[in-house]
Chains A and B, each alone.
Chain A
Amino acid sequence: MTKYIAKRILMALLTLFIITFVLFVLIRIMPGNPFPVERMSAEMIAQKRLELGLDKPILEQFADYLKLLASGSFGNGTSLYNGAPIKPILIKCLENSFKIGVLSILFGTVVGMLIGIVAAMHKGKFLDGLCTVISILGVCIPSYVFMIFLQYFFSYKIPFFPYFFDSSRFLFSSIMPALSLSLLAISIIARFTRNEMVEVMNSDYVKLAEAKGLYGWELIRKHILRNALIPIVTVIAPLVVDLLTGAMVIEKIYGINGVGKLMVDAIAGQGVDYNYVLALGIVFSAMYICAMLVLDILYGIIDPRISLTAKDG
């Protein structure tokens, strides 16, 4: 296992390198300049590109960028926050998005699995139907619409939560965005948990366990949940990455300085900020790759029948 993990980590680094290169090239193909060109003449644009080293061959530019990365810097912004170093701003935004993301994952997983379990145990009955409706509503109502409702009722009608994000009361003002972000996670997890559990509950080994006299929570935990977990973990992993990488619209509504907003500003702002898009792309990919790595390792732990190291299928 250790050897496998070491190999995977090495592989992950290689993947990250390829991703960096692919992103680096793709971003340069994107329409738009890396700086705002409003009322800039052609000569001025050419001059600015020269200053930024964009006239060099692309491989040379990439080598320069790798050197920057190796020195522990993501370089400076080009249009978004003109010329300021990226790292401190990135860290601040990641911190904000992360904290809210973790909260919503926690909430989404717990509530989602509970709903799923309750529904599976009452399959075909009223509670099951109710849970289905909840999980369907959760996917149909965009999280930002839900956010507005929360804001309207719990900040305006009943002024309990702050109306906008307030970094000095971080946890308190994170509740509403985390709740609205977790809505989708709750729906998806509840749905998958229910369906997987129903399937497992039908299997012979569960029937055997029941025949042996196991019942209730013990049965669910030891026999059903464990077997139903694989597909559930599979949906949770990408959700985690999604939630951690921020939600642009919610960040905008609630006034949170987060990475979701940062990414959209970097791509759809006055200029395509090459360095911000790259930095965010690299960070997001690293997170994604980590999640996938953990996922593969988890498969093995949850279900010992699965061996990823096997040579042939």
Chain B
Amino acid sequence: MKKFLILTLLTLALFITGCGEDSADNNTLKVMLGSNVVSLDSAQATDLVSFELIADCIDGLTQLDAKGNAIPAIAESYDISEDGKTYTFHLRDANWANGDEVTAEDFVFAWRRHCLESTKYAYIMGAGVANIKNADAVTKKEADPSTLGVSAPNAKTLVVELTAPVSYFPALMTFPAFYPINEKFYNTLAAGTYGTSPETFLSNGAFMLTEYLPGSANIQLKKNDSYWKAENIMLQQLHYQVVSSSDNALTAFKNKTLDLVGIGGNQIASVKGDAELSKNLKIIPTGLLQYLSFNQDPKNHHAGALANVNLRLAISNAIDRESLVNNFVDNGSRATYTAVPLNFAPNAETGKYFAENQQQFSEFVSFDVEKANRFFDAAKAELGQDTFDLEFIYANDGGDTVIKVVQAIKEQIEKNLPGVTLNLQPMPKAEYLDRMTTNSYDIAITNWAPDYDDPMTFLTLWTTEGSEIAEHWSNADYDKIIADCTTGALAANYNARWNAMYDAEKILLENAVIAPLYTNASAYLIDDKAKGVEFHSVAIERVFKNVK
């Protein structure tokens, strides 16, 4: 027993020697992350957190300014061919952190690698998004990677060949899939280790990794002195801390442990009651659409009741979206009645967001119990049944908000459409994704954030090919409009394309392929010293380069 006591005392002594004071640095910004970084390898990253960190460390051809417009980054300038199908980027003199020059070859290498290795974002190079020549064939391993429509005639020139014009191409280049990777450096690494530690990750951007381990809760970055615009970077250190609970985040902010944290509805209410703290509160609208996905496969295990359009319309019109956002989400999110969410894809001429007019499709998406019941009666007559037992699945990693929202939706639908029962089925993310792809669900709550600043980032989700992964809906007219707008005749005609996309959205909503719920907003508490953090609704959520 005595030995135990001595041991304990010794350990205590060790603690005390171990304690020192934290060096508070004014040039250090400590930022909260809501979830773990999936991967720093741009071919493996699938989430906004990973994209943000990659963008901290690596500059692509272009970058977004504070207003969300594409401005030059590694590409000093670019030329577009007459037919809009060939882009020639002229690279500036920039270096990797190890002293190597950033060359056009680094881009060619990274893009080819992306086609071969990426899973979720393989499509972004191909037809429908970037339209890069041969991208789909390379992805399917039907063509040699060298045939990909990107080449480097010399170290400072990058030529990209497209199959059809892409109006948003320069802005698309801000997406991490299009960032360069230093080939020489990459080849020195053991297989699979790229981006798993500070030693295996090379920056050419504003910051570089100093402490990182996959899955770690604490990530540290410091200013990269060899960045091409290093003199403009004021921030010396950028620290990230993964915090899983909003409650904990709020205390960490009050404690000045973190300078920028994200909080949820309850915390916002508490912050609003505090005169000091409420000055630091900032609500940032995002482009993330939360929606219900209806499985329309008639072979679905519930005999495909949801293949009936009237049943889907009934459900969509029985949801009180205003009540959802005001009572349950409660963080500044906005109810959405269109398939393309708010806050993103401004028209090049008018500057108005694509989804500005939320009443446009109110005939099909609204909150109207009477109308919902008309659809419901029609559905009951067509299907010859009065009660519907539907399985409503959700992933348990979506945080408190999703859990609140699914319960509210269950209550609303069961109240407004007597006879419908929604069975809530929570499940781990892996099982949830598996259920969606293997077609074994009725209704799922899911979300999508825009990858590029164009409505197509949403509309392509529901083509015959796209909805094979979830909704199993197919409509020839819809597919034709999408094909015309992406690779066909309308691709080069901005206004005609813009209007055609509304037509497509109408087909989508009159068939109630999905039920849009709300466009998400993020609530942040930002310390006064963190001025100049830029927020975007597309791909890269937060940019810290210009913090003063």
A interface, CB within 8 angstroms of B: 31-33, 35-42, 44-45, 48, 76-77, 79-85, 89, 92, 103, 106-107, 109-110, 113, 148, 151-152, 155-156, 159, 162-167, 169-172, 175, 221, 252-253, 255-257, 261-262, 265, 267-272
Contacts and interface: CB of A to CB of B under 8 A. Distances in A.
Given A82-B38, A107-B8, 12 more contacts: A37-B119, A44-B122, A76-B192, A81-B39, A85-B192, A106-B4, A151-B248, A152-B251, A156-B254, A171-B11, A172-B19, A253-B245
Interface string B1-25: 1001101100100110011101000
B482 to A, nearest CB: 16
Q: Nearest 4 pairs between A and B by C-beta?
A: A32-B430, A255-B217, A81-B214, A83-B192
B124 to A, nearest CB: 11
B41 interface: yes
Contact of B433 (A32, A83, A159, A167): A32
Contacts, number: 163
Given A163-B255, A164-B257, A268-B428, A48 B8 contact: no
Given A81-B39, A163-B255, A257 B5 contact: no
21 contacts: A31-B434, A32-B428, A37-B433, A39-B123, A39-B469, A41-B465, A44-B122, A45-B437, A48-B119, A77-B214, A80-B214, A80-B215, A106-B4, A107-B8, A151-B251, A155-B257, A163-B257, A164-B241, A171-B14, A255-B243, A269-B430
B323 interface: no
Interface string B117-141: 0011011000000000000000000
B244 interface: yes
Interface in B430-445: 430-431, 433-435, 437
A82 B216 CA distance: 14
A252 B244 contact: yes
B167 interface: no
Contacts of B216: 257
Nearest to B432: A32
A36 B255 contact: no
B217 A171 contact: no
Contact of A268 (B15, B429, B468, B469): B429
A163 B251 CA distance: 9
Interface of B: 1, 4-5, 7-8, 11, 14-15, 18-20, 22, 36, 38-39, 41, 44, 46, 119-120, 122-123, 190-193, 196, 213-218, 241-245, 247-248, 251-252, 254-255, 257, 396-397, 427-431, 433-435, 437, 465, 468-469
Contacts of A169: 18-20
B227 to A, nearest CB: 26
Contacts of B4: 106, 109-110
A269 B243 CA distance: 17
Given A41-B468, A163-B252, A268-B428, A106 B434 contact: no
A163 B122 CA distance: 40
A229 to B, nearest CB: 12
Contacts of A77: 214
Contact of B213 (A48, A79, A257): A257
A48 B429 CA distance: 19
Contact of B44 (A82, A109, A155, A171): A82
Contacts of B241: 164, 255
Contact of A83 (B7, B8, B44): B44
Q: Which of B14, B46, B217, B428 has the most chain A CB atoms inside 10 A of its CB? A: B217
A256 B41 CA distance: 23
B307 to A, nearest CB: 20
B433 A92 contact: no
A222 B123 CA distance: 74
A253 B190 CA distance: 33
A107 B408 CA distance: 45
Given A36-B46, A106-B11, A270-B46, A162 B22 contact: yes
Contacts of B247: 148
A164 B218 contact: yes
Contacts of A44: 119, 122
A38 B242 contact: no
Contacts of A170: 18
Contacts of A40: 119-120, 437, 469
Contacts of B36: 265
Given A40-B469, A103-B11, A271-B430, A156 B251 contact: yes
Contacts of B5: 110
Contacts of A85: 190, 192-193
B188 to A, nearest CB: 16
Contacts of B218: 164-167, 255, 257
Q: Which of B4, B18, B244, B245 has the most chain A CB atoms inside 10 A of its CB? A: B18
B151 to A, nearest CB: 27
A48 B217 CA distance: 29
Contacts of B213: 89, 92, 257
A38 B251 contact: no
A163 B217 CA distance: 13
B274 to A, nearest CB: 15
A138 to B, nearest CB: 19
Contacts of B44: 82-83
Given A39-B469, A221-B1, A256-B217, A155 B255 contact: yes
A165 to B, nearest CB: 7
B215 A89 contact: yes
Nearest to A264: B428
A206 B99 CA distance: 78
